[in-house]
Amino acid sequence: MSRLRRPPIGVAAFVVLIGALVVIRLLGTYPWNEYVFDLHAYWITRDGIDYASQAPGPAGTYLYSPAFAQAIRPLTLLPLPVFAAIWTSLGAALLGWLTGRRVLWFAVLPPVLLTLVQGQLDLAYAVVAVIGLRWPWAWALPLLTKVTPGIGVVWFLVRREWRSLAVAMGATALVAAVSFGLDPAAWSGWLSLLLRTQGPVSDPNLVYVPIPLLVRAPFAVAVIAWGAWTSRRWTIPVAMVLAMPILWLNGPTILVAIWPMLAVGADSPAGRWLRPDRATSAIDATT
């Protein structure tokens, strides 16, 4: 009978730290459920979305498409402390899947830590960067939230992978069509928001890289085009970061997706998912 292996100390420490944050949020402890966290902006969509009053920059603003709000609707019906606890747990699970036993190393990096605390979608985008070539429909998430991080579909265009491109764009269009049918007025408001948005509102307390998207976008396209031509998939998360509408401090969290793509990160759950044949061989070797 085999003995149960203890989890690495870093994994155990990460679980304890995240567990403490989850409990604090579940108890509704101030200030961990306040409006200054992005997860509050997602939760408040339960009361509807007033895109006319939204603008990039201030905490607690919802800037994504109505489709995302509709998709998470069942969770937003829960009380805020429960929603915040579940949302934090989901973010931690995504980080664990991407990094495996090194999860604590990544969790203490300022962008990643900020993403976990704020409840931002950067870790979900990192997962899309990993799974998006095999499951192209996953690109619907960035395309229907921050839009420009969906630049990953350029990979299919450059490599002439028309089927994958069709699946990515078709899935996005299908979700958008269903969402529009449910709330056309909200879609009109979101599109108006995108057209009038120029950048973050002026606020000395906001921390971001003040390089406009129009300047960064050509570099993002060049990076992913080069990566597609030379089969370097790690360029996908790099291009996604460069293509963020506004490059906040948490944006580089998407680069965590590079770890499972490297040989050193092959033992993470995401790395094993990327290399199913190697994972199978490892299992066979231990039996």
Asked if 247 and 220 touch (Cβ cutoff 8 Å), the reply is no
Asked if 107 and 268 touch (Cβ cutoff 8 Å), the reply is no
Report residue 207 as tokens. Answer: 């921390």
Q: What angle do CA 119, 54, 170 make, to 5 degrees?
A: 70
Q: Is the pLDDT of residue 278 over 70?
A: no
Residue 154: partners with Cβ closer than 8 Å, 6 or more residues away: 221, 224, 225, 228, 239
Give Cα separations from 44 to 60, 156, 285 (angstroms).
Answer: 9, 36, 51
Residue 276: partners with Cβ closer than 8 Å, 6 or more residues away: none
Asked if 119 and 38 touch (Cβ cutoff 8 Å), the reply is yes
What letters, b where the CB count within 10 A reaches 16 and e where it falls short, cover 158-186? ebebeebbebbbebbeebbeebbeebeeb
Residue 268: partners with Cβ closer than 8 Å, 6 or more residues away: 97, 98, 99, 100, 101, 102, 259, 260
pLDDT given at position 29 = 86
DSSP state string for 75-100:
HHTS-HHHHHHHHHHHHHHHHHHHHG
Q: Which of 133-142, 200-209, 271-280 has the lowest mean pLDDT?
A: 200-209
pLDDT tens readout for residues 139-187:
999 999 999 999 999 999 999 999 999 999 999 999 999 999 999 999 9
pLDDT tens readout for residues 190-214:
999 888 776 665 555 667 788 889 9
- Residues linked to residue 209 through DSSP beta bridges, in sequence order: 247
Domain limits, the chain: 9-286
N residues, the chain: 287
pLDDT tens readout for residues 13-59:
999 999 999 999 999 888 887 777 889 999 999 999 888 877 666 56
